[in-house]
Homo-oligomer: A and B are copies of this chain.
Amino acid sequence: MNKRITLKDIAVATGVHVSTVSRALDPKRETPLTDDVVLRIRETADRLGYRPNRIASSLRTQKTMTIGVMIPDITNMIFPPIVRGIESVLEPLGYASIIVNTDSQRGREQRLVEILQDRGVDGIIHTAVLLDDPTIVKAAEAGLPVVTLNRKIEGTRVPYIINDEAAGIEAAFSLLHDKGHRHIAHLAGPRNLSTGQLRLDAFRASAAIRGMNVENLTIVEAAQFDEVDGRRAAEEILIRDPGTTAILCANDRLALGAIDHFRTVGLRCPEDISVTGFNDMPFLNMIPPRLTTVRIQQFEAGAVAARHMASILSGHGEDVPIETILPVLLIERDSVAVPRQA
């Protein structure tokens, strides 16, 4: 590996001092320099193929131009778009990101925050799932710039971006209700995950404003956001209330599992029972019955988080709103119909 060109090399080549070279190459230069000198330095820098050593620079300036991105699991389809949204704004600004997967494990989360801090990240964008991860809060309180996605951290000035979960659930509930459904069950997500809790609360609220007895609602909680638990919970719902005509599911995978269960017991969706999902994951429209669901803006959420982070890092932290709520969109497809004996 050919030795890398350093400022010193350019200095000797042009016959000026390294500090002069440093100044000449600084894009937003403070000190005035002779145009001629600057030109000569720039020219030789290119000629020698100079590339600044970010490590050295980081050590000196205490800025790494790197941000940590914490997500539960990149393998979960909803996160890659978020990541790309983040990079779409951060990369042009010269930032790189280190992505870590927390697997929603508390201990791991803590270790990862430490790893990121050891590497001197300038900030962390944290996509939350667990409702309470003390680690990231502590880091934020210690002064590390933090922006969270999906999770409101009470009592701090940590900016958060969330999708309008409540509006999404309300839209789905409203659709179901308008079609005539009165026995609407909720297949809830894990209660310890923010989205699980939020959507459950929203479901109850939607029922309440329609004068339904919140105590009597059929609500079954899945342990995981996956098809297996969707099947299991759907079965449970049918046992608890055989009169259920529609199930509002906390996400698409649960809905898929539920529909699959119905198939095994001879119920058809939407003829016998209506189902709605949440997320609008890729390829969902190819799986019959095409699921009616709520689309959330993943890419945009990432982009907004990144923009906020960039603002903070450039010293304009006051300008960023603590709360950003992104609108969601109800996607009507084929999994909802009027109830059988309506």
Whether, in the assembled complex, A143 has its beta carbon less than 8 Å from a beta carbon of chain B, the answer is yes
Whether, in the assembled complex, A97 has its beta carbon less than 8 Å from a beta carbon of chain B, the answer is yes
The answer to whether B87 and A81 touch across the interface, beta carbons within 8 angstroms, is no
Classify the interface of chain A: helix, strand, loop or mixed. mixed
- Counting every copy of the chain, the complex holds 2
The answer to whether A84 and B55 touch across the interface, beta carbons within 8 angstroms, is no
The answer to whether A51 and B118 touch across the interface, beta carbons within 8 angstroms, is yes
Contact partner of A77 among B77, B144, B256, CB < 8 A?
B77
CB within 8 Å of B: which A4-53 residues: 51-53
Contact partner of A286 among B53, B58, B287, CB < 8 A?
B287
The answer to whether A286 and B256 touch across the interface, beta carbons within 8 angstroms, is yes
Contact partner of A96 among B51, B80, B119, CB < 8 A?
B119
Whether, in the assembled complex, A213 has its beta carbon less than 8 Å from a beta carbon of chain B, the answer is no
Whether, in the assembled complex, A59 has its beta carbon less than 8 Å from a beta carbon of chain B, the answer is yes
**Per-residue B-contact encoding for A49-79, CB less than 8 Å = 1, 0 else:** 0011111101100001010000001110100
Nearest B residue (CB) for A121: B96
The answer to whether B98 and A98 touch across the interface, beta carbons within 8 angstroms, is yes
**Per-residue B-contact encoding for A174-194, CB less than 8 Å = 1, 0 else:** 000000000000000000000
Using a CB–CB cutoff of 8 Å, the interface residues on chain A facing chain B are 1-2, 51-56, 58-59, 64, 66, 73-75, 77, 80-81, 83-84, 87, 91, 96-101, 114-115, 117-120, 142-144, 256, 260, 282-283, 286-288
Q: List 15 A-B contacts (CB under 8 A).
A: A54-B118, A54-B120, A55-B55, A55-B58, A55-B119, A66-B98, A73-B84, A74-B84, A75-B84, A87-B101, A91-B100, A96-B100, A96-B115, A97-B98, A97-B99
